[in-house]
Amino acid sequence: MPESLHSMLVRQLKRFRKGPEDLPADWMPFLQAVDNAYREFDKDRNLLERSLELSSEELVQTNTDLRASEMRYRTFIDASTDLVFLKDESFRYLISNRANNAFLGRPEADVIGRTDFDLMPQENAARCRDSDQEVLRQGTGLSTEEAVGGKIYQTLKFPVPLPGGRTGVGGYVRDVTRRKQIEQALKESHALFSLFMHHSPIYTFIKEVSATESRVLMASDNFKDMVGIPGSEMRGKTMEELFPPEFAAKISADDWAVVSKGEVLKQDEELDGHYYVTIKFPIVRQGTTLLAGYTIDISDRRQAEEALRRSEEKFEKAFQTSPYAILITRAADGRFIDVNDAFTSITGFSRQEALANTTLGLGLWLREEDRQQVVGTLNEGRPVAGMELRFRARNGRILTGLFSAQLIQLGSETCILSSLGDITERKQAEEKLRASTEQFRDVASNIPGVIYQLRTGRTGSLEVPYMSSGCEALFERPVANLDFAGLLFNHMHFGDRALFEHSIDAAANQMERWSLEFRIATPDGKTKWLRGSANPRRLPDGRILWNGVLLDISEQKRAEESRRESEERFRLLVKNSSDIIAVIDVDGIVKYVSPAEESVSGFSSAELTGKSIGEIIHPEDMERTLLAFRETIAHPEKTHRVQCRHIHKTRGWVPVEIVGQSFLAEPAVKGVIVSVRDVTERRQTEEEMARQMDELRRWHSVTLGREDRIAELKREVNALAIRLGQPPPYVAVENTGDREKA
């Protein structure tokens, strides 16, 4: 089998590189050109591989820097596409950037304070927990790679010192899918280097070039990705047969320039939105000059450069728009290198004043002890994170700041990158909140009842997250493990639980104030009445929080029951009384009349209610009736009596006796209660007795007879007078009679 051109070139090049003296002279220019071409190819390939290796080293260094400064660049990490986080020693999130929040599918408020078991499937959370524990156990960084959802993520976790001597876990997660794909492509390319013409991701070609045309002799099959034609079909075709006329003419002209001048050509090209770099060089084969070359798709690199440029723009924008003062100073003498606009707004010093001075020169440090602590911490190689200190602004005002610092390297200069946030108002607000909280606790512990919160759970159940300290006295039971829900619902009267939940649901539907009286059982088996009331507030997650008060109304209930029983007895007495019971207001208007009215006057209660006493009492009796009414109002401690004539529906007037007492001061009455009695029969009896008295007196005056008969008549007169309520007119007769009987 004849030796191939490629095998022959490889064999002759080995001899050429060992020593060209034993080779034919006519081979020397050709082998020299081929050797130069291969060396240039190897040089470019080595540069590409070295570039990838350097990129990997820079990535590791960048990751290390990110881990070291994660706690101080909260503003900047949100601009990163990497997932950045910090967990405490219990593996609860302390920091989570926007990319991590988006990956977890939760807002930051739902991420902070929760563990992975609260935020992701149990299997994934368990793997995260294992790696977190391994980081804390080893005390060093841990790098892992994991495929999730068709993507490959590189995770770097490391221990982070926290306040109070604790240690948390920091980390970032980067999507390295694209990089892994490139690495895999390069790996395959190296493994199949001997077949690079057909398997390399580099577009490789050899052409036969003349002044009039450029024809393909060999091309890798991956040209199909670039021009839509595999290399096997490109063989023997000219540029005009493969590309549009203008583009083909340019390629042919460039090819001829390379061959005719014997120089290497490197050029950048854009085709269909992709960017390529092409290396062309002449080679000589059997006295014929050919053109060899390769094309590399650098679209990813261009995109990476563009992404880097945008990232730098974002960094600069974040630096200038950060609400925190960002300052870079030299570690050696504290001289300012750069500050952002927030530095001026917070401290009052202009950028020019800062750059011409040092931190000591500006007088920012209020306490030398604080400065020494920062310097000492940084000299130990540890960052300063979240340190609260007081500093002096340009106008002399003393402010409270949140200070963080980290050593960084700018070229050969060691510098300090610091952030300073003005938390003066926050500290004042915290102090007000503390005072307000203490005041609330004092008020809550001294009110005659319990302040509480009621919340609808995610499943619709009712939760009781808070009750004030008076709950144990109200329920007469201790609260075990702050189980306020059990304290309320476990001892609620069985018949009231459904009413309680129904009324809460009804109020929640209308978002209106809720109020209910219900019963609970005390430890001694008695029933206690409580009144609950609360106002609703809808939470961001859609649930409803009720803030309200529970009051013990047992005494009130007992009083109401006693009053109800008393009122029922009074109602029965009034209903069944033969006397009329009425209530008259201060203006003399009848507010209430008992049913006995109809039997006395023929009028129903409804017919007389609302009428004035002037419409009911005989005009001739009004003056003394009104006088008695005024006396009753003026002396509410006494009862007052008057006789008058009451209107009758059919008989004109009915003689009555009215007895009344004022209850205007009683809220439940606000009037004069009167008892009206029909005295018609009594009047008739009195009139009959008066007539008999008159008749006896007439007989006494005209009767003659014995003394005994006269004395008997006198005693009868005395008896009649006593019956009429008058003093006996013949006292001597009574005494004489007593003596005679004696």
What number of residues does the chain have? 742
Both structure tokens of 206: 């050899």
* Bridge partners, residue 108, by sequence: none
pLDDT at 92: 93
Q: State the helix-helix crossing angle for 707-723 and 731-741, rounded to 10 degrees.
A: 120
Least confident of 9-13, 159-163, 167-171, 691-695: 9-13
Q: What is the pLDDT of residues 109-121, one digit of tens each?
A: 898 999 999 988 8
Strand 325-330 versus strand 336-339 pairing type? antiparallel
**CA–CA gap between residue 491 and residue 511 (Å, rounded):** 27
Q: Model confidence at 4, in pLDDT bands (50, 70, 90)? A: very low
Q: Which residues contact 188 (CB under 8 A, 6 or more apart)?
A: 199
Find the largest Cα–Cα distance for the chain: 203
Place of tokens 């203008």: 246
pLDDT tops 80 at residue 446: no
Q: Model confidence at 741, in pLDDT bands (50, 70, 90)? A: very low
Sheet strands side by side (includes 652-663): 590-593, 580-584, 671-678, 652-663, 640-648
143 phi and psi angles, rounded to 5 deg: -110, 130
Average pLDDT of the residues in 346-351 = 89
Q: What is the CA 333 to chain-centroid distance, rounded?
A: 46
Average pLDDT of the residues in 367-387 = 89
* Residue of 243, 186, 184, 247 whose CA lies nearest to 219: 243
- For 447-483, b/e burial (b = at least 16 CB within 10 A) is eebbbbbbbbeeeeebebeebbebbeebbebeeeeee
- For 575-596, b/e burial (b = at least 16 CB within 10 A) is eeeebbbbbbeeebebebbbeb
Q: Are 292 and 205 in contact (CB under 8 A)?
A: yes
pLDDT tops 80 at residue 491: yes
pLDDT tops 50 at residue 305: yes
pLDDT at 534: 92
Q: What is the CATH number of domain 447-558?
A: 3.30.450.20
**CA–CA gap between residue 234 and residue 189 (Å, rounded):** 22
Q: In percent, how much of the chain has pLDDT > 70?
A: 80
pLDDT at 407: 92
pLDDT tops 70 at residue 699: no
Does the global pTM surpass 0.75? no
Of 64-78, 269-283, 400-414, give the range with the top mean pLDDT. 400-414
pLDDT at 75: 66
pLDDT at 411: 81
Both structure tokens of 323: 């609400």
Q: Are 374 and 365 in contact (CB under 8 A)?
A: no
**CA–CA gap between residue 535 and residue 512 (Å, rounded):** 7
Q: What is the pLDDT of residues 182-198, one digit of tens each?
A: 777 667 655 554 455 55
114 phi and psi angles, rounded to 5 deg: -110, 160
User: What is the residue-averaged pLDDT of the chain?
Assistant: 79
Q: Residue type for 162, please?
A: L
Q: Are 169 and 135 in contact (CB under 8 A)?
A: yes
pLDDT tops 70 at residue 53: no
107 against 15, higher pLDDT? 107
Q: What is the pLDDT of residues 314-331, one digit of tens each?
A: 767 766 777 888 889 998
* Residue of 190, 170, 184 whose CA lies nearest to 46: 190
Handedness of CA 693, 697, 703, 706 (dihedral sign): positive
Considering the segment(s) 70-176 as one domain, its CATH architecture is 2-Layer Sandwich (3.30)
* Bridge partners, residue 64, by sequence: none
pLDDT at 687: 74
Q: Are 158 and 146 in contact (CB under 8 A)?
A: no
* Residue of 170, 166, 18 whose CA lies nearest to 94: 170
Is CATH 3.40.50.620 correct for 322-427? Answer: no
159 phi and psi angles, rounded to 5 deg: -75, 140
pLDDT tops 50 at residue 517: yes
Domain ranges in the chain with CATH number 3.30.450.20: 70-176, 192-321, 322-427, 447-558, 577-678
Handedness of CA 195, 198, 203, 209 (dihedral sign): positive
Q: How many CB atoms lie within 10 A of CB 620?
A: 10
Return the CATH superfamily for domain 577-678: PAS domain (3.30.450.20)
Q: Are 400 and 390 in contact (CB under 8 A)?
A: yes
Q: In percent, how much of the chain has pLDDT > 90?
A: 6
Q: Are 130 and 138 in contact (CB under 8 A)?
A: no
Q: Model confidence at 16, in pLDDT bands (50, 70, 90)? A: low
pLDDT at 48: 61
pLDDT tops 90 at residue 153: no
* Residue of 131, 123, 224, 210 whose CA lies nearest to 173: 131
Q: What is the CATH number of domain 192-321?
A: 3.30.450.20
